[in-house]
Amino acid sequence: MPFLSAKGLRRMATPLVLSIFLLLPAISEGQYGHRCEVIPKDPYIEFGSNIKIKFKKTCNKTISDSHGKIYWTINNKSIDESLYETNTSFAAVTIYNLSLPKAIVQCHSHLTQQVLGGTIIQTYWKPRNISCVTYISQQDFTCRWEHKIKPTSKITYTVYRKWENSQDAWESDHCSSGSMSCTFNKSLPMLSKLNYITVRAESTVWETISDTLELDPWDTVKIDPPKNVRVVPLPAHLRVEWERPGGTDFLDQVIHCQVKYAKHVMDTSMNTVAKTASVTSVEVESCTNHTVSVRCALDKAPWSEWSRQVTVLSSLNVSTMQLDLWRKMDAPDNTGTRTVHLMWKSISPACKAIDGYRLTYMADEKHMPDRHLDTVVDKASITVDQRAYRVTLAAYRGDTTFSEQSIYVPAVGQSLPQVRGAQASAHDGDIQVSWVVPPLYLVHGYIIDWTTDGDTYTWLQSQDTHITLTGLQPFKLYNITVTPLYDDKTGLEKVIQICSVQRAPGNISSVDVHVQDKSAQVNWTAVPQSQCSGDVVNYTVFYKTETQPELNVTVNSWKQGVTLEPLQPDTRYSVHVMARAVTGATNSSVIHFTTSRYGRTFIIMSCVFGGFGVIIVLVTGLFCVIQWKRFKGKIVPNPGLSSLEFWSSQDCHKIQPFNNPSELETFCEMIYPCEVNTITDDIMGSTSTEDGDIQDMGKETVCDQTERWSSGFGSRTFCDSQPREESSNLGLTPTLLPLLAQQDGEINLLESTTSEDSSSATSDLQASESCPVNPYRLQTPGECPVRLGLGGGEATSGTTEESRSLLDTQQHSSIAPLTAYVTLDMFEHRVRESKRT
């Protein structure tokens, strides 16, 4: 495909973009039917009313040609086809009794299943339940109503009131409000004429009017509450008195009143002429404070507010006063002595009806001394022996006894009846107790008492074999006792223990987490069994990361640990433990932990392999040290003990040039040729030497390719592959001939250089760096003398003479070049010959 320029692309894109913009309206119209008219569009209608929706078919040619094959939906649910209407121009659907706050009605094509058009219908309510009140004292008329609207909707209400005046002409007024109440201030209606009330609600998009309410003005009058309410306490009753509300304004009206006291409400009425009213209550509890209030209303009118409350103390009803004496006995000691705890329901001291209580008890018709108790006391304890006793309690005032009651205390070991099959169950905070009548005894009642602390008791008497205890404290263990009553005695008690409400298990106090890389061991302390808490059924451990959902593991109640796996290494987790019982569940506090990056196995293996690595390194290092020491301990030939071998110039010419680099390298490794350009002028023995100048007299040969580096024994060699002609131009400067001296029976070859030769030696040393192998490279000129002869022994006379002859020959000759080849084999050979000599 040829490459298009930017200009060419712009020329192609311009008509394409124009075509897209021209086609978009057609596509939108054909596919979605945006131009198809739906009538009405997004209407608001009253809740429960009917509406007809029309769709114009001629806007879409496809629909027109398909003979109107469309269907309707409301909130994506199909509408029954019996509600459809269609012709060549319109398709319509009628929705009856629309009772939805919002409905989306759409028209679909059967052929393409596309939405051709639609509308959103929203409903509103009329104001309803209108009520109006006329406040006579305030001269106000207020109406209230109900209206179901959205909390965010802003509605304006207008209340219209219309009535007929005395000239039979209609009058009206209105008030406006933003809430669902409106007050006509200082505008009372005519009480003799009917009133017609209408409420209009108006929003920004809809408006509705309530149904008209027809009111009798007398039915709207709310009178003031009664005044001067008085309460007179009577024995076992209360008498309430009050004045007629409104004074003489409503003498021609019947007024209905209600009196409220304690938990009772009494209804009464005042006739058309009564100016005061009074009522006597039913029997009330003696010596108890009671609060009384009264309210009144006209016939069919709303009630007034309650009057001011009046509190009064009721009088004591001596005839019905009951002390409800009861007792609880401790277990006897070894002598049969026991303590009897007496309790009764005392009379309120506020009554001031009695002076106190008198307590008497007797055994075998023998009276014990009387005990007088104060009015505020409602319990007492006496100590008796093993005999049966009759205990009597009486309330008195002066010499008059108002109430007297006795209780039987059985003897120790006395055979008495006892209830059977006693059981108790708790439900919603109440306890149901049931039992079976003891056989062979005529029982006329039962005393049921219960306590939570063994000090404060509540008791009551029942004739039935079942009872429900209410008003109990939650999560408390109750000791419930059932005692039968027969003749004038009491039987043996039956004790039941039960909790009114059981709580969830106790808290899990201790949770420990032992972390690994991919697991964690969670341990906790078992929840101890506490009073009124359910038994633990199982434990569930919940754990999660900061990004992943929560997981859990459940174990039985006898387990106190669980392993969480698999976990992600080096990840932060949160964990908590839940103890579950039938009565509920308890969660521990949340603990956070982070898993290890590496596990114990990885760390152990790393330590093991690391230890092996350290051992291997130590062994290898020790081996290398041993080998190095062995290498250092080997005997290395001392160049100072080497010998010189003299070749003539003619012999040097016989050596072929080293044209082959490999041969040169091998030759250099084995034989080191050198040109001796210096001689010793004189050998003075071990005490004196003389220096002489030596000049190069002959032509350079192959031996001239070696560069000398003066050392202790003679010369250092350097092999060069340059031709003879080039090597002759190296410009080697003459040096001083080594001196041979006789010292301690040994011949030393000493080499010294002039200042002029120093620069030459340095340049020669640099040139010699190209020699790959040279055992004497590190030796410097004049560093150590060349010692000829046997190490540690005296040189032979032949060796000495030979060395001196060589030096003499070099002195007297015209400084002919001498070439010396030093090899290790020659050195060893000369040493052996010296030893034999």
What is the pLDDT confidence band of residue 266, given thresholds at 50, 70 and 90? very high
Least confident of 176-185, 269-278, 443-452, 671-680: 671-680
pLDDT at 774 over 90: no
Helix (H, G, I), strand (E, B) or coil at 202: strand
- What the block records as the tokens of 566 is 């698999």
What is the pLDDT confidence band of residue 535, given thresholds at 50, 70 and 90? confident
- Specify whether the CB–CB gap between 171 and 180 falls below 8 A: no
pLDDT at 763 over 50: no
Q: What is the mean pLDDT of residues 91-113?
A: 88
Furthest-apart CA atoms within the chain: distance in Å: 184
pLDDT at 694 over 90: no
pLDDT at 451 over 80: yes
Q: What is the mean pLDDT of residues 424-431?
A: 91
- Specify whether the CB–CB gap between 245 and 223 falls below 8 A: yes
What is the pLDDT confidence band of residue 790, given thresholds at 50, 70 and 90? very low
Which pLDDT score is estimated for 827?
55
Q: Please tell me what DSSP assigns to residue 318.
A: G
pLDDT at 158 over 50: yes
Q: What is the mean pLDDT of residues 435-461?
A: 90
pLDDT at 825 over 60: no
Whole-number average pLDDT of the chain: 75
pLDDT at 489 over 50: yes
- What the block records as the tokens of 232 is 């007179």
Q: How many CB atoms lie under 10 A from the CB of residue 6?
A: 7
pLDDT at 249 over 70: yes
CA distance 301 to 297: 6
Which pLDDT score is estimated for 830?
61
Which pLDDT score is estimated for 61?
56
Which pLDDT score is estimated for 740?
37
pLDDT tens digits for range 331-381: 999 988 999 999 998 887 777 778 889 999 888 777 777 888 888 888 999
Q: What are phi and psi of 824, to 5 degrees?
A: -70, -35
Which pLDDT score is estimated for 498?
92
Which pLDDT score is estimated for 157?
93
Q: What is the mean pLDDT of residues 14-41?
A: 49
Q: What is the mean pLDDT of residues 175-181?
A: 91
CA distance 580 to 535: 8
pLDDT at 800 over 50: no
H or E stretch covering 624: helix 600-633
What is the pLDDT confidence band of residue 504, given thresholds at 50, 70 and 90? confident
Which pLDDT score is estimated for 314?
85
Q: What is the mean pLDDT of residues 500-508?
A: 85
Least confident of 272-276, 313-317, 609-613, 743-747: 743-747
Q: What is the mean pLDDT of residues 505-533?
A: 86
Share of the chain above pLDDT 70, in %: 69
Question: N- to C-terminal Cα distance for the chain?
Answer: 102
Which pLDDT score is estimated for 495?
93
Contact partners, residue 739, CB within 8 Å, separation at least 6 = 680, 682, 683, 684, 689, 690, 691, 748, 749, 750, 751, 752
Label residue 398 left, alpha or beta by phi (over 0 means left) and psi (-120 to 50 means alpha).
left
pLDDT at 1 over 50: no
Which one is predicted more confidently, 75 or 27? 75
Q: What is the mean pLDDT of residues 816-830?
A: 48
Which one is predicted more confidently, 730 or 479? 479
Q: What is the mean pLDDT of residues 394-402?
A: 85
pLDDT tens digits for range 288-347: 888 999 999 998 899 999 999 999 988 877 667 788 899 999 999 998 899 999 999 888
The alpha carbon dihedral of 400, 404, 410, 415 has a sign of: positive
What is the pLDDT confidence band of residue 462, given thresholds at 50, 70 and 90? very high
Which pLDDT score is estimated for 650?
57
Which pLDDT score is estimated for 611?
87
- Sequence-ordered strand ranges (E) for 203-288: 207-209, 213-215, 221-222, 230-234, 237-243, 255-261, 264-270, 276-280
- What the block records as the tokens of 633 is 């301990």
What is the pLDDT confidence band of residue 578, given thresholds at 50, 70 and 90? very high
Rounded to the nearest angstrom, the gap between the alpha carbon of residue 214 and the centroid of all alpha carbons in its chain is 63
CA distance 84 to 75: 17
Which pLDDT score is estimated for 246?
82
pLDDT tens digits for range 596-646: 887 677 778 888 888 888 999 999 999 898 888 888 777 666 666 666 665
Q: What is the mean pLDDT of residues 810-837?
A: 50
**Amino acid identity at 674:** C
What is the pLDDT confidence band of residue 743, given thresholds at 50, 70 and 90? very low
Mean pLDDT is highest, among 29-33, 358-362, 531-535, 832-836, for 358-362
Which pairing describes strands 591-594 and 572-581: parallel, antiparallel, or unpaired? antiparallel
What is the pLDDT confidence band of residue 110, given thresholds at 50, 70 and 90? confident
Q: What is the mean pLDDT of residues 563-586?
A: 89
Q: How many CB atoms lie under 10 A from the CB of residue 579?
A: 25
Least confident of 156-170, 455-469, 555-569: 156-170
Share of the chain above pLDDT 90, in %: 28
Rounded to the nearest angstrom, the gap between the alpha carbon of residue 129 and the centroid of all alpha carbons in its chain is 51
